[in-house]
Amino acid sequence: MGERPFLKIENVNKTFVIGEERVEALHHVDLVVNKGEFVCLIGASGCGKSTLLRIIAGFEKPTSGEVSVYGAPITGPGSDRGMVFQDFALFPWMTVRENIAFGPSQKRELTKDQVRERAESYIEMVGLQKFADRFPYQLSGGMKQRVAIARVLANEASILLMDEPFGALDALTREQLQEELLQIWERTQLTVVFVTHSVEEATLLADRVVVMTAGPGKIEADVRVRLARPRDVSAPDFNEMRRSLTERLTSHVSRRPLRNAA
């Protein structure tokens, strides 16, 4: 008998009731993510990418179907899964150090010294040693997102869920954080599920790119990115892959009506 899949999404459906209307956001979604993989979800707005991510996080429950980690069903949020949002979601009354230490401080088995050591370790990993005592309002957007990533890492999550985390950042900061995220991923061996609207970003980051259709959301294609790392966005093979993914993404959009989906 083979080893159980690490993260398994099996026949997941999600329907929202809005007033008297029922909106099907996800339809028969099946996906397996192996431990240590970097998987990007791409698709048009309203295809259910963020809904699927929230179901993996345990913030939403599927209408039917199941999501499991090593065969154990996900029934709610857990420290094994950490989520990073586009809007940072930091505690504004806490410093960088306090934000990062918050999760570990809730664990009874850790001493204060252990909590402090863990926080300092991840502050260093994201390069914010000089800003550890600053509050979120004193930080740039890129710094805030580094804090958000470090806060998840400090909880020692095994799955990092990212919902368009760099979408609100300027192009230069976005490129820097993409590079830093890949370095962190390679160093920590985390499993990453990353939602993005950018085909270039998905091509740059992912081991696999999962293309979702809209109305309701389901998986159109699951494409392995067989490009050596580090990747050069100007290289011919990179642009060939990007064009191929763009064609997959746009081919169904042009023939399907737009729907409102979460």
Where do runs of H (alpha helix) occur along 8-133? Answer: 49-57, 96-105, 112-125
What percent of the chain is modeled with pLDDT above 70? 95
Residue 202 predicted with pLDDT over 60? yes
Residue pair 65/13 in contact (Cβ under 8 Å)? The answer is yes
- Give me the mean pLDDT over the 221-235 stretch: 95
- Give me the mean pLDDT over the 147-155 stretch: 92
Q: How confident is the model at residue 45 (pLDDT cuts 50, 70, 90)?
A: confident
CATH number for 1-80+157-262 (one of 3.90.1140.10, 3.40.1260.10, 3.40.50.300, 3.20.20.70): it is 3.40.50.300
Residue pair 154/122 in contact (Cβ under 8 Å)? The answer is yes
pTM of the predicted model as reported, rounded to 2 decimal places: 0.90
Residue 2 predicted with pLDDT over 70? no
pLDDT single digits (tens) 98-148: 999 998 998 888 889 999 999 999 999 999 999 999 999 999 999 999 999
For residue 261, what pLDDT is reported?
Answer: 42
CA–CA gap between residue 223 and residue 40 (Å, rounded): 10
Q: Which amino acid is at 163?
A: D
Domain ranges of the chain: 1-80+157-262, 90-156
Tokens at 214, concatenated: 């809209």
Q: How confident is the model at residue 167 (pLDDT cuts 50, 70, 90)?
A: confident
112 contact partners, CB below 8 Å, separation of at least 6: none
pLDDT single digits (tens) 47-95: 889 999 999 999 999 999 999 999 999 999 998 999 998 887 899 999 9
Query: DSSP string spanning 96-124?
Result: HHHHHHHHHHT-TTS-HHHHHHHHHHHHH
Residue pair 73/13 in contact (Cβ under 8 Å)? The answer is no
